[in-house]
Structure 1
Amino acid sequence: MPSTPAQDEIVPALIEQWDVLDGLLREIPEADWRAASILPGWRVQDIVSHIVGTELMLLGEQPPAPVSDPREHEHVHNDIAAINEQWVEHLHDETPERMRDRFRAVMSQRATTLRELSSEQWDQASFGPTGPTTFGGFMRIRLFDCWMHELDLRDSTGLAGDEGGPRGVISLDVIAAGLPYAVGRKARAPRGSTITFTTTGPVERAIHIEVGEKARLVPAHDGPPTVAITLPFGLLARLAAGRVRAVDHRGEITVEGDAGLATAILDNLAFVM
């Protein structure tokens, strides 16, 4: 995955993602905004607060000073999570109507900023949640984050939606880039192993990994892989993000090859922050 994705691909997809979220926020019943979400410690509204807060920071606004230490919460495990919690606390008592209006206003500003970026600004060195990248690379991560939180909102409220299209394709690019880490570092797949993930559903793809000194993505394998795992695209995304456990979805997953290694991989897929 290139560090700088195409500007004319990411910008429209990210703006589309915000538009989809805007529509979703207007579907969520008022009572559900204060209900617990699938994310530990967060209500449905808190997911929206996180998205809004992150985009406000990209517009230059600093997170408000916390009333209490965010790290006192059990679900806050690092500095990024602590910053997220500052926005959640700041927007805690806003009404759903004000949150919807704030979301629309902030994303409108961000969309204008993105449309006005030069190619030089897009390629400029930056730093994202996964480390050094370019500004364009960071925006690809922003798209994935917003897309993943759309799934969180839908899973929390029972409102179904389309997980495919360009937004899903780009999100799978981000997930695929992290799979070698999950396979090699977390699952400790032995050297010489070859793994293929095949996704079904709205985004279909075969993702090939081989393990040498490090696990890495490869275009294809020379022969049958050590492990072949076939599963729905949405399930792979939720496993990678730590939203669900593979053991609870075995009926949706097909495994060929080394069953023990497959179990180790599936049980260690969560790598998304």
Structure 2
Amino acid sequence: MASPKHADAWRHTYGASLQLAHQFSPADWDRRTECPAWSVRDIVSHLVGAEQWVLGDRPEYDLPDLDHVRTDFDRWTEVHVLQRRDVPPATLLAEFQEVYDRRSAQLAAQDGADEVPTPWGFDAPVDHAVATRIYDCWTHEQDLRRAVGRPGNLDSPAARVVRSQLLHALPRLVAREARAEPGQVVRLEVTGQLSFDTDIAVDPDGLGVARASTGHASVVLNTSWETFARLCSGRLPANRAPVTYLGNVELGLRVAQSLIVTP
């Protein structure tokens, strides 16, 4: 049996949020976060409910009509939040700990190649499912940290898994979403905890191709790792993000606006 890749990275970020939640003051639970429509309490509720779903706990709940709920996946995420809207913090913390313990044990017993259900209605290998959960859990860990003013783990094992996923998505985002033209090259220079430099060139067929940062670029975007991650998770509008552009600024802004990877 091949243990799931990145299981320890999931444990690290989920455990970090659990530890952080134990430090929340009564006022912290109701603080707004950068995650649209959600408070600190709501994010903890989502983290608990999402992993319970993975464990097979899927209680029925009649979700009311909400303006920001437009898809089945939106409904999946919101159910966990509304189910716990009136649950006391102490009860949430107990659930949080129990889910962490059960999910950690489940991962220890799984094979990374096993197929498991996903919220999108199809089965996927455990390795893929864990990587997806890491993106969600780490992004929400950072939501919580920013909301209560306790930064950290920008270079954690989970952050490295997230960076890998974002780098993999960049060619598609630049070519398809930002509509960069054949022959154009977009360079990203990201500084900070998980720095990287990469060029995304658009080939004659309109496909994005990642390559080393060398030679001429149509536009260079320079920003920090934290800002890049916030842009990619839809937490920061591109027109307010601390990004500098050198070259084709119009193209650069389109790229910054097109970086959203999360659902």
- Structure 2 length-normalised TM: 0.90
Cα offset, 1:206, TM superposition? 1.9
Instruction: Pick the aligned partner of 2:78 from 75, 85, 101.
Output: 85
Cα offset, 1:77, TM superposition? 2.3
Amino acid at match of 2:249: A
Amino acid at match of 1:235: T
- Relative to structure 1, the CA distance from residue 200 to residue 125 in structure 2 (aligned partners, 3 Å threshold; closer, same or farther) is same
Amino acid at match of 1:80: F
CA contact (8 A) 2:51 2:103 kept: yes
- Relative to structure 1, the CA distance from residue 61 to residue 38 in structure 2 (aligned partners, 3 Å threshold; closer, same or farther) is same
2:161 alignment partner in structure 1: 170
Counterpart CA distance in 2 for 1:131 and 1:201 is: 37
Deviation per CA, 1:24-52, whole angstroms, max 9, x where unpaired?
11122122213333323222111111111
Amino acid at match of 1:186: E
Instruction: Pick the aligned partner of 1:259 from 222, 228, 249.
Output: 249
- Relative to structure 1, the CA distance from residue 176 to residue 63 in structure 2 (aligned partners, 3 Å threshold; closer, same or farther) is farther
Q: Does 1:220 find its partner at 2:212? A: yes
Counterpart CA distance in 2 for 1:7 and 1:90 is: 33
Unaligned 5+ residue runs, structure 1?
Answer: 1-5
Counting only pairs closer than 5 Å after superposition, residues 1-273 of structure 1 correspond to structure 2 as 7=3, 9-66=5-62, 68-69=63-64, 72-121=65-114, 124=115, 127=118, 133-212=124-203, 213-220=205-212, 223-249=215-241, 252-273=242-263
Unaligned 5+ residue runs, structure 2?
Answer: none
Deviation per CA, 1:169-227, whole angstroms, max 9, x where unpaired?
11111122222232222221111111121211110112331213343342325622222
CA contact (8 A) 1:165 1:202 kept: no
Instruction: Tell me which moved more, 112-121 or 147-156.
Output: 112-121
Counterpart CA distance in 1 for 2:117 and 2:199 is: 29
How many residue pairs were aligned? 261
- Relative to structure 1, the CA distance from residue 129 to residue 144 in structure 2 (aligned partners, 3 Å threshold; closer, same or farther) is farther
1:3 alignment partner in structure 2: none
Cα offset, 1:257, TM superposition? 2.5
Counterpart CA distance in 1 for 2:240 and 2:43 is: 24
Q: Identify the structure with the greater helix proportion.
A: 1
Identity %: 26
**Regions of 4+ moved over 6 Å:** none
CA contact (8 A) 2:112 2:126 kept: no
Give the match's secondary structure for 1:30.
Answer: coil
Cα offset, 1:133, TM superposition? 4.6
